[in-house]
Structure 1
């Protein structure tokens, strides 16, 4: 009932009721005058028709126009507008529809600007970028990626990644990113005819607000120039080391010869001892630099063979025991019998010698050193533990860097080159192994090495 007597319908209802009352009264007065009755009905019909036409023009037609305007907005035509002032209600509706259209137009313009900005940033990146959804379909490839790998954007977008990416390293990166749900990094060489491009690909998973995997993004860096600079550095170090090896050996030999001739002048003897000692230190440094250069060469190959681990350890024990005894250190060995592994025997000897020698240098007199080797599920676990000076957390993150020294004064006194642990790390990595360090300042250090069987 409220609807009937609302402000919108009340005038029409009053006119309709008065018209019906008038019609009834005229019919009663006319009695059997059919002409009068028909005339009254015609007038009644005309009045009702006028009311319907007025209602249609004021409400039904404007609502139809408003509906068409909304349809155009849904289609994306945000310039569509609706104007009508036939009634306060329609005027209010037109104002709200037009306000909605303006707001949607502003939002669309902002989204377009943001989209253009994002597209500009993505396409002008100096790295290739690929966006893949959780089903494996490619959604975005930028301009740099197309320059690196060729083809058109349409050949990638909307296709499964394993159908359009030819490089197996990219496949593996995507698969590991989805499988482990963590950032994956890999390097590979991409060839275009005679040209060779070094590429580093980083895959990162994408999660939604509920921490569910929604896809992955790949960033591909062209590291060709970095590789060229790295090669120049390696070649320079190798060449200089080779050139210095002969004169340093000669200087050491001459100094040793002069020292054997019973020099009587104390000052001369002291200077010759310094020359001999420093030339020996330079010789060790050169040998370590050459060892690193060999390990870093692309054509470096390990001499893999099966051998008994305990026998390999016993071959290096005499020199290590002698160094430990000279410093009054306790050296313990925990190696099981009949333990075999498949690796480069000479390189693994170098790993153990460098690690134990490092522990001897950094462990005060009266301390303990222990070499423990054990067999685990898929790896051989090497553990070198000492009760030396230890390291803080900052040093632990840098201990495998070249020329980094935890205690610079102690390293100079012991004649260390600062390359021993860097060589260890390279040898472990070329064996596809893993190296970790545990250390507490002033309490000692434990280095763990895991080599696949």
Structure 2
């Protein structure tokens, strides 16, 4: 801003100097002309006055030499050179030079002017006797009869006249310098008052360009500069509000992307990763955020996904397909590759969207298996009922012994069919959480003891030992009937799948805020590769044996949903041939 102030002062000084020089030249010439004319008039007036004084003496005599005495007296009172010339041009008297040394002056311009009848004759030339430039004024000396007796001439050095002009020039120069100094000082003050707020406004503008939107102009100014300051402040306020809005939008967008269950990855035109979200890390099984700035190939490690991305680059069209991942574990993902424009025109970026549909496909398979298994399970009792009914209708009912045997089989199959349908309906309600839950205090040791009474007879038949190990006395809140349904299923399975002379043990203890119920047996156990599927509907480890024991294949599925409805979870630990332990964890306080 000092540059601006300096430029303003320089421009003003230049304009003022040009204006001053023009005025000075005009004034000097005018004053010089005026001074010259004034000096000429004064010299002419003086010559006329002296001539009048001399003419008073001339009237008494016709001899010019008789007035030289008076001229000698006047010479002492005047600084001008005085000369008297007779009509023939001879010098009668000269105050500066001996008249004898002077030549005839008949050819002098001022002398000739008087001879020609002019009242005053003037001339400027270099004197041959004094060798200096003089200004000459000549007036006639008239006799008593009006005749021309001679000419009185006064001379003054031109340097004296020019001295006045020089003084005028010096005065104008001094005045101009003083005026220029004063004007420059005033200009500096004024420009400083103008430049300082402008400088402050420029500093605010520079801060705004550096994205420091909190700065404001707080200086004092006037006129348009004050309006400019207010405009800059309004601009700063708008920029700050827009920046805050952008930051908030960016934060909300980041939060949204980071909490999506869909994996998101942005790839630039050079195939480099620009951004990934946590869901993408989970789907790909590694921390891809460490690979930002590297090629996407290092992150995907899937030929199918890489092929789909390259296809999107080539065609610049959205691509969609299901991709199978085999590393680090088997997964099925729904991949969408969406081309978007980059920051620069023509720049091609891609957004890779991956959605893990492994569980969806697994549930679809479970649903398909359920339909198949349910149809198979229902078909067996229905076929039996149909077959025995047809046999009876064909005449077998006439044999009372056969009739009774067939009716007993039909009753068992219908009971099994009823049990299967009820389990399917129960499981459907539990999945949809349509089963009402009572909230009451439950004593776990009492719930286990009452369940033991239900399986006591079966256990005694197989000589199985039933034990309760209560490490902590616990009361929980929940639905007592649903808890007993869970215990009954697990304990009954333990008795069923444990050989004669075995042992079934239920342990009750507390872990953190959970009540832990462990149902353990030393029975046949479950193969390790099938333990993840035992809670699936109709899934049986040993299908023939399970059906012979009267199971529907839905018991553990029902147990799983009952535990989840009680806000708990269930796990299994088993070794083939060594036994199985089901672990149920329920919150002590119902949520």
TM-score range, shorter chain: 0.3 to 0.5
When normalised by structure 2's length, the TM-score is 0.36
When normalised by structure 1's length, the TM-score is 0.46
